Amino acid sequence: MQPNRPFLTTSQAAQRSGLSTSYMTYLLREGKLEGFQLARDWLIYTDSLEAFLAQPRKSGPKGPRAKA
C-alpha cells in the first residue's frame, strides 16, 4: 500500500470504466492493475486504472465460432 497514491474501490472503478467488478478483481490478481487488498475488499490505484483504460484493447468474441 502506498499512502500518497489515490485509490478507488472495485465498485467505483467498475462504474468509471464500464467493466464489471469481478473483471476488476481478475485484473488485480493477474497483475494488470495495481492495487491492494484490505480485508476482503480490493482497492485499485487511480493512476493504474487510467493507464489500463488508455491502452487499446481488442474486442471480444462476436458470436459462435464456425465449426471447421
Q: So what's the pLDDT on residue 29? A: 93
Does pTM surpass 0.95?
no
Output the CA–CA distances (angstroms, integers) from residue 49 to 3, 24, 60, 61, 68, in the order listed. Answer: 17, 9, 20, 24, 39
What's the rounded Cα separation, in Å, for the pair 9 and 44?
6
Q: Stretch 28-53: mean pLDDT, rounded?
A: 94
Answer whether residue 68 shows pLDDT above 80: no
Cell of 27: 485484473
Cell of 30: 493477474
User: Where does the chain show beta strands of DSSP type E?
Assistant: 7-9, 35-38, 41-45
